[in-house]
Chains A and B, each alone.
Chain A
Amino acid sequence: MDYLKWILLGVCVLFVILPLLPKRPDNTEKER
């Protein structure tokens, strides 16, 4: 069952970190 733990951890960390990554300029414009 250990691999399930790693999958859960990986998915959660990715999901939380994604919005913190720097965006491309066109996306920033859209957001504004």
Chain B
Amino acid sequence: MSGLGNFALLLALFLSGYAVVIDLLGSLRRDPGLIKSARNATVAYMACLSVAMIALWVLLVKSDFAVIYVAEHTSRALPFPYKISALWAGSAGSLLLWLWFQAIFLVMVYCKSEFKHRSFSANARMIANLVSVFFLIILNSDKNPFELSTVAPVDGAGLNPLLQHPAMVLHPPILFVGYAGFLITFAWAFGRLKTADEDNALPLLKKAQRWAMFAWLFLTAGIVLGAWWAYEELGWGGYWAWDPVENSSLMPWLTATALLHCFRIYNRRSSIATWTVLLSILTFSLCVFGRFLTKYGLVSSVHAFPNPGLGILHVVLLIHVWVIAGVLMLRNYIRKKKEPPNARIPSHRFVILNNWLLLLLALVIFVGTLFPFLSKVFITIIESLSSQAGPPRAPITLAPEFFTKITAPGGLFLLLLIGLCPHLLRSGFNKSWRIILGVIAVAAVVIIWLFTCSLDSARPSDISEAIGWWGQWLLSGSPAIPCFILSGFVLVNLLADFVGYKAKKSPRTLRWYGARIVHLGVAVMFIGIAGSGGYDIEKTAALRVGEKTNIAEYELTFDDLKVEHGRNFTAVAADISVYKDEKLIAQLKPAKAFYNASKKNVSEIDIRRTLAGDLYLALTEVDNSQKLINLHIMIKPLINWIWIGSFVMVLGTLAVLLSSFKQKAITAKVN
């Protein structure tokens, strides 16, 4: 079976390479035969990847430990669902899964035989297949999941215990659907750059819009699932650590959010068209770069696979992509010089402001994530220039607090824009500009005033001292208070919009509701982020059986320590009774589990959940002989509103997607 998988991967590489060359030739010579052949090669390449996927799944389920990938990521005792999910537990398998999704989407969108889109589809397919060629070279050479070992072990190393969680079964495929979905908009952008006849490409624009939304939906769900997994499984009580892997999924999410807004108001005669093309290319480039950043070992991460291998091919691919895009843009610019200049549409200003803001946030996160690498380069240059030899300097890594503080103002400004959104649509754009500028000016004056008051201790008066204290707290502390205020502003505005919107031109459609529901979800999520980040309490307590400890309004009693046996682990669980006002409100069971195959200890946390907040318990150390535990206790106010808000965002996006499919059905009927 491994031989078949290997062969299928190699054949897929040849087929995608063939498709690139033949699509190029076909579109240059306008030969429908060649274009059809390239299209068939793309379908065959998808079939080959499907064969490789099935072959790898069969090997994993059969526990064929002669295959290195199977031996490294499964064991005989591993439950069946985790054997299936082991396919994306390693670098090679996850790359195969990403490629497979890409191939399926490519066939679904750009391999239809509609004659009038043939040239556009060929151009789009060509660039998408070029991406596949690079990925398949990596997969066929140094990240081959079908590589055989010289001696097959009796049992495998097992799946990393941290990955044995329902969220981790779903998180990678959902995220990869998102990444692969952005290949469609990326390929559309190239088709749009290359194809002169734009009118023929309009139906494909609608498709690209839907795919951008579909990919964004999955990327959002994937990121939130990852955050939920980190909260539930890692035992440190947080959900976002600004780790390079997390950042590498957030950066494309930010640019994709800007892209969605551009697609919504796409007009080929305005600058939004250029924005849409650039953001489509940038979003997918960030997906690829994120993979390179973490898998190549450029910056260290808890998620990274340390083997660099041919990771540099990711960068080579991105250079190719941007050079081709640059050349095509320059060509189009020279051609369009004779045409009248772009129309200036007032409503587009806000979307462009939104784009700049999201791009700025992505850029800050990009520089922050790459900072250890950049500082290393800088130190090496300085050291090579200076003649004096000194002790070697370590590269600088930025703390998570840096990211939180630097991105908070941008996030808050985005909330302000969301809150103003209904006004922008209702009361005319010139008036709304004045409202925005007024709010910003007042906010700036208040903040500067508060700041000077907080600094100037020589001018004491009761009011200014009090305000100064608040100002200092506002500026130096967490941005929770402004976040609550702005989230409230968004909620009130959206609710007022739901109740009081009198639409004359555009009736309330499913799309209308969907877009507002997504924004509602964002505000709810921000409330959760502010609450859990700004007001969390934590303590660590060493307890013997029968001892008590207090945190906030809760009293915790350590009742007993028990040993439990699972299928592939042994756990020591502590029984903790939680009292509030001397009334038993919950019995929690945090545990420490030992996984036999991988020989790893994992902390299994337990949580008392309420909408007001979570009581989060994690065992850091256990001494079973002395019945002694070290308990990490945390209170996370409002944290569940993050998950609720995310769910609302997903629901809203589904509503918008549904409405666009409805529209498609109506258009098809009319035609």
Interface residues of A (CB under 8 A from B): 1-2, 4-5, 8-9, 11-12, 15-20, 31
Contacts and interface: CB of A to CB of B under 8 A. Distances in A.
B40 A19 contact: yes
Interface stretch (B28-36, B166-174, B312-320): B28-36
B33 A12 contact: no
Contacts of A16: 15, 18, 37, 40-41, 44
Contacts of A15: 40-41, 43-44
B36 A4 contact: no
B47 interface: yes
22 contacts: A1-B1, A1-B3, A4-B4, A5-B4, A5-B7, A8-B4, A8-B7, A8-B47, A8-B48, A9-B7, A12-B11, A12-B44, A12-B47, A15-B41, A15-B44, A16-B18, A16-B40, A16-B41, A18-B40, A19-B39, A20-B34, A20-B37
Interface residues of B, number: 21
A5 B3 contact: yes
Given A8-B47, A12-B11, A16-B44, 4 more contacts: A4-B4, A9-B7, A11-B44, A12-B48
Contacts of B41: 15-16
A1 B34 contact: no
A29 to B, nearest CB: 14
A12 B1 CA distance: 19
A30 to B, nearest CB: 12
A31 B32 contact: yes
A18 B34 CA distance: 10
A14 B137 CA distance: 24
A1 B36 CA distance: 31
A9 to B, nearest CB: 6
Given A12-B11, A12-B47, A19 B33 contact: yes
B51 interface: yes
Contacts, number: 47
B15 A12 contact: yes
Contacts of A17: 37
Interface in B1-46: 1, 3-4, 7-8, 11, 15, 18, 32-34, 36-37, 39-41, 43-44
B37 A1 contact: no
Interface string B170-198: 00000000000000000000000000000
Going nearest first, the 3 A-B pairs with the smallest beta carbon separation are A19-B36, A12-B44, A19-B37
Nearest to A1: B4
A1 B146 CA distance: 15
Contacts of B18: 16
Contacts of B47: 8, 11-12
Contacts of B44: 11-12, 15-16
A15 B360 CA distance: 47
B571 to A, nearest CB: 41
A9 B34 CA distance: 20
A24 B1 CA distance: 41
Interface in B451-482: none
B198 to A, nearest CB: 24
A18 B11 CA distance: 18
B11 A20 contact: no
A24 B33 CA distance: 13
A3 to B, nearest CB: 10
Contacts of A19: 33-34, 36-37, 39-40
Contacts of B3: 1-2, 5
Interface in B426-465: none
Contacts of B1: 1
Given A16-B18, A19-B33, A31-B32, A9 B40 contact: no
Contact of B8 (A8, A18, A20): A8
A9 B37 contact: no
Contacts of A20: 33-34, 37
A5 B51 CA distance: 10
Contacts of A11: 44, 47
> Which interface residue of A1, A9, A15, A19 has the most chain B CB atoms within 10 A?
A19
Contacts of A5: 3-4, 7
Contacts of B37: 16-20
A28 B502 CA distance: 57
Contact of A8 (B11, B33, B43): B11
A16 B369 CA distance: 44
